[in-house]
Structure 1
Amino acid sequence: MITVNNLTKRYGRHSAVDDVSFTCPPGTVTGFLGPNGAGKSTTMRMICGLTTPTSGTATIGGVPYRRLSNPGRQIGVLLDASAQHGGRTGREVLSLAAFTMGVRASAVRPALERVGLDATAARRRVRRYSLGMRQRLGLAHALIGDPSVLVLDEPANGLDPEGIFWMRGLLREFADRGGTVLLSSHLLREVEAVADHLVVIGNGRIVAGGSRDELLATSGTLVRAADPAALRDLLDRAGLDAAPATDGGVVVRAPAETIGRAAAEAGLVLLELRPAGPGGLEQLFLELTR
């Protein structure tokens, strides 16, 4: 269980994170979403003891990260795949991590194989790794201690489509076995496919949180009109909040009947009027963080 209570981080007068609270229950994947600069990485660094909060708390199983006796055996962390010694081989990086955590050396080879790094990759210097290979090595590092919690910041960055599909399955399996996953990613469709819960942050504050299905069910109505400018004017006059969708339409926080009646009274031709379904997380994200 990850528990974040009223977490705040200020740099002078600037609040990078402002009174953030959420929980990540065991057996779930929580997608942590927000635009660049929203406070995601700062929050994750505070959870992992790398940044000291101005106020508030973050605990893993009720204990702050810095008080864990052997944190790698309880929480696996991947915040920066490039933060690895380029002169060491993949096997050396993982062997050192295993030694530090008190994990038997025989666990290194299976851990590398689990993330798709073969014997040739294990002997290669990390400086010669692609970004995708570094991500795989970072994930092996996070998993080598057999933790019950994973905190991952953009773990799919640099992976090809096959690698992204593989990682989705690995995280889903980890959670289904009772593990807790906090996942930050800009790949919204992948988050939508694997996450049970969503936490959306904007300008350092939580703007939405809850189960994936609950949030997507309230993502609004997708509308496209023959005259987009007239549609915008109509929505403004009606006081209906709208956000741009990715296909040229808009997502409106109102029932389809309300929008349809207003369009009919104004003589506006609608080309599409339906619940925001496929791609709903992307549309919801744009609406919440614009």
Structure 2
Amino acid sequence: MISVEGLTKRYGDVPAVEDVSFHCAPGTVTGFLGPNGAGKSTTMRMICGLTPPSSGTATVQGVPYGRIANPGRHVGVLLDAAAQHAGRTGRETLALTAMLTGVGRDRAGAMLDLVGLSGRPARRRVAGYSLGMRQRLGIAQALVGDPSVLILDEPANGLDPEGIFWMRGLLRDFADRGGTVLLSSHLLREVEAVADRFVVIAGGRIAARGTKEELLAAPGRTLVRGVDGAALGAALAGAGLRPRPDTGGAFLVEAPAEAVGRAAASAGVVLLELREAGGGGLEELFLSLTASGGRPSGTPVPSPHGLEGASL
């Protein structure tokens, strides 16, 4: 279980993360999504005790990470695949991790087999590894202690399509055996196939959270296009509907189609298109949530305790 409550991090007057709350339950993969610079890595560093929060709390298995005795036996962490000793071989890296966490040295060999780095790659120095190989080694290192929780920041970076498919299967199996996975990415399609739930962050704030079905069920998103785009935008803004430009001169509006149509009609704007948004599925929703750097007006953000009575 991972529990994040009101996490905030400010650097001077600049908020990097603000009032972020979500839960990750055992047996689930939570996709932590957002564009580059949205606050994903800062949030994960606060969860792992590497960055002190300005306010709020984060716990893993009910306690702050820094208070977990021998944390590698409980929490597997990969925050930066490049942060590995370049002079050690892959086998030496995992053997040292196994020794420090108190598991048998044979665990290192088993993990090298699991991630596809046994044999000659295991004897190579990390300095000669590609980014994809370092990612595989980092995942193996996170798993050495046989933890019940995994926290992985952009683990698919550098992996080829086969590697991404392999990683999805590995994480799905881990969760299906009762593990908890928090997986960050700025690329939706990397995690959509494996995640049970999603937390979307933009501009340091939570933009949305829930299952795919819950996110797509959010009502009142309308796409509208008019003959005179400027006049349409002004009419919608004048009605307090806060339009956001979309492709091809259209606008996305967080309001029912009827309200959008009435606002255009009152201003005498001729419409070319008026329909419920969402035909693009989760990808369209993700892009609309993150395009403006924060949560659009009217987008529901359920309580972290209020999704089907379970935690994220």
- Place the TM-score, normalised by the shorter chain, in its bin: 0.7 to 0.9
Counterpart position of 1:255 = 256
Instruction: Report Cα offsets for 1:46-103 as digits up to 9, x if no partner.
Output: 1111122233221111111111111011110000000001111111111111111111
The one-letter code matched in structure 2 to 1:160 is D
1:15-26 map, 5 Å: 15-26=15-26
Correspondence for 1:276: 278
- Distance, in Å, in 1 between the alignment partners of 2:3 and 2:223 is 35
In 1, distance between residues paired with 2:248 and 2:73?
45
Distance 1:268-1:221 versus aligned 2 partners, 3 A rule: closer
CA distance, structure 2, for counterparts of residue 107 and residue 246 of structure 1: 52
Partner of 1:241: 242
Query: How far apart, in 2, do the equivalents of 1:246 and 1:190 lie?
Result: 24
Separation in structure 1 between the aligned mates of residue 153 and residue 242 of structure 2, nearest angstrom? 32
Amino acid across the alignment from 2:105: A
Change beyond 3 A, Cα 1:190–1:259: farther
Q: 1:55 to 1:260 in 2, by over 3 A?
A: closer
In the alignment, is the contact (CA less than 8 A) between 2:242 and 2:253 conserved in 1? yes
5+ residue gaps in structure 1? none
Q: Give the RMSD, CA atoms, in angstroms.
A: 2.6
Residue aligned with 1:56, SS: strand
Q: Are 1:184 and 2:172 an aligned pair?
A: no
Normalised by the length of structure 1, the TM-score is 0.87
Question: What residue ranges of structure 2 are gaps of 5+ in the alignment?
Answer: 295-312
Deviation at 1:288, TM superposition (A): 5.9
1:1-45 C-alpha deviation (Å, 9 max, x unpaired): 111122232333333233322211111122222333332212111
* Distance 1:189-1:257 versus aligned 2 partners, 3 A rule: farther
Deviations 1:246-275 (A, max 9, x none): 6775433233455466667733222x7343
User: 8 Å contact 1:243–1:250 — kept in the other structure?
Assistant: yes
In 2, Cα distance between equivalents of 1:25 and 1:148 = 11
Query: 1:189·1:281 contact (CA, 8 Å) conserved in 2?
Result: no
- Kindly tell me the number of residue pairs found equivalent between the two proteins: 289
2:133 aligned partner: 133
| Cα displacement string for residues 152-210 of structure 1 (whole angstroms, at most 9, x for unaligned residues) | 11111111122122212222222222111111101112233322222233333323333
Distance 1:174 1:281 in 2: 28
Alignment identity in percent? 65
Whole-Å separation in 1 of the counterparts to 2:291 and 2:218: 12
**Which region of structure 1 is more displaced relative to structure 2, 167-176 or 180-189?**
167-176
Distance change >3 Å, CA 191–CA 30, structure 1 → 2: same
Q: Deviations over 1:108-127 (max 9, x none)?
A: 22211212223121111111
Q: Quick check: 1:192–1:281 contact (8 Å CA) kept in 2? A: no
Deviates more, 1:169-178 or 1:233-242: 233-242
TM-score normalised by L of structure 2:
0.82
Give the stretch that moved more between structures: 101-110 or 216-225.
216-225
